[in-house]
Each structure stands twice: as C-alpha cells, then as structure tokens.
Structure 1
Amino acid sequence: MTDPVSLCSNRIQLDDPLADGRQSEMAARIWRGTARLLRGAGFACLPELTLASGRRADLLALGPRHELWIVEVKSSIADLRADGKWPDYRQHCDRLFFATHPDVPADIFPEDAGLIVSDGFGAEILRDAPEHKLAAATRKAVTLRFARSAALKLHDLTDPDSRRLFEGL
C-alpha cells in the first residue's frame, strides 16, 4: 500500500485514489503517527471525511465501543491560528482532539480539546479530550457516513478508473 507521506509530497500522482493533495508532508506525517496510535487502541481511522455540516474532519476515528473521535491535524502555529472552525466538529464526535508534532508548542492549543503529539511513526496523547456523548441518531448518521466513505476509498483502490466514471455521485 502507498505510504500516506509520499501521497502528500510533490510526487503525487493526480489519479492516485488516496491522494487528497490538500495536506502538507508534515500534516501527513502527523496523521500517520496519530492513526497508528489510535489503531493500536482499537480504532479505525479515516482521513478527510466530509461531515453533514459540510466541514471536513482531518481524521475521524471509530472506536471499539462505537465511540467517534475527530482529530484536527495542525502542523504549525499559523495552521492553528488560521482555523476558527474547529468548535463546529464537536457536534459530530464524542471527543475532539488536536494532533501536532513536537516542534509546535503544546500550550497554544485550547484546553477544552484533547492533544496528541506525533513524530510521524507513533504518537502520544498528552491531554485527554473531554467526552460529550453524541445523540443516537447523530452517532448512526456519522457512522454510516464513515462506512460509506471507507467503502468508496477501498473501491477506488481496487478500481481506480471507477472514480473518474462516477465523480459527482
């Protein structure tokens, strides 16, 4: 399988079904380490999931007890300062985290969200996120969106030409 870091470098193939093209190489490294941490805890992670609100979560993680976590990846101080939409993600998850790398100061992140630090190979939760349980109907809707998106990404991997045939559906 293609490494997520190479997908976000200047060598991106435009027809690569996993390439999103919006993330920096550093953001891809943060994502990779964070996803490895969460997978080790029994979560399945999906990048760049568009939510019902139209916002796009950097990483949505579905846990072994059906819990939903959103992780916003921030690769720099400027990246965090430019993002005022992150509070909107709370309506789509049970816990909201930020993930960054060790060179970004931890004290700039809001204290009412969790904090994960990733070196690209692994990650550590420095601050747990407060829990705010989703309503059952919202949980079902987000979980179905997660499943549909994951299935489409898998289909794109196994049949890359289908993405061009059915764009916009």
Structure 2
Amino acid sequence: MPIISPHSDNPLVDGRQSDRAMMVRRGVQRLFSDLRLSMVPELSLASGRRADLVALNPAGEIWIVEIKSSIEDFRCDSKWPDYRSHCDRLFFATHAGVPTEIFPQECGLIIADTWSGHMVREAPEHRLAATTRKAMLLRFARAAADRLLLAELAAG
C-alpha cells in the first residue's frame, strides 16, 4: 500500500469543489444546524445526479441545496431543475460576491460565508410523493450511517 495516494480518503471531497464552494457549504451547514436540520453533503440521487447538500428538517421535509460559487458556475449548470423531483424545497446557496438576481425566483436563496448563512428567500414547497419521500429518506439514512461507520473505523 503506498504511503502517498493521489486519491482522497474523504468521501465528502472529490476535488471538484472549489474553496469558495466549500466555504459556502460550511456556512449553510452552520445555518441549518442552528435551524435543527440534519444534513448529508454530496448525496447521490436515484437519478444519478449528486446533490451538494441534502437536509432533513424536524417536520420530515427534505431540502436540497445547490451551491454556486460564481456567475459562471450558475450559467454553465443546466442540471439543477432535476433536483426538484427529489425534494420538498430547493435552494441555491452562494456567497456575497455573486449577484443574487441571477438565481431563479422559484427557488430559495441562501447567502453564506465560512461562519454562517442567511436565508434571503424561502423556497416554495413542492411536496414529494410518498414513495419518493421514502426512497430519499432511506438514501439519506444509509449514506449517513455508512459515513459514520467510515469515520469510526478511520478513528480507530
């Protein structure tokens, strides 16, 4: 086994996330933690897409947050409408350096930095069908449990 590996052992970081995107994610995670939401970052969906952050609120609603770190990041992304079929509420999250008017009004909006986030606009509710909700809850729970096990094994 090599001492140095070009591959990350962290399943939450695959090298595609910029420093800005990670900063936004940390801020959103702190905001959601204050709101008592449970979260799983980088969750693979049944569609084959991967959501930047999936959260579960105390009422059982599933929220997806799509993180955009720049205008270019938003403009070259056409996959975000697909996330709506996997959540009750869809949000965009970005930082203060990105103009908020580029984001669609039919989605929630969060501005975040390293320390926290601010919900600029609530996301409208689009209730999931019961079968989709169950599938998402199972996907969420299995990912969270698998990651906890990996963390415990890595800690020794």
Whether the TM-score (by the shorter chain) exceeds 0.5 is: yes
Q: How does 1:23-102 map to 2 (within 5 A)?
A: 23-102=17-96
SS at match of 2:43: strand
Secondary structure of residue in 2 paired with 1:96: strand
Aligned to 1:4: none
Task: Indicate the SS of the match to 1:129.
Answer: coil
Partner-residue secondary structure (3-state), 1:111 = coil
Identity %: 57
Mapped to 2, the partners of 1:15 and 1:89 lie a distance apart of 27
Q: CA deviation at 1:15?
A: 2.4
Aligned-residue CA RMSD (Å) = 1.6
Gaps of 5+ in 2: 1-5
* Matched position secondary structure for 2:30: helix
CA contact (8 A) 2:28 2:117 kept: yes
SS of equivalent to 2:8: coil
Partner AA of 1:135 in structure 2: A
Tell me the CA shift for residue 154 of structure 1: 1.1
TM-score by length of 1: 0.84
Structure 2 distance, partners of 1:75, 1:102, is 10
TM-score, scaled to structure 2: 0.91
Q: Check whether the contact 1:17–1:157 (CA below 8 A) recurs between aligned residues.
A: no
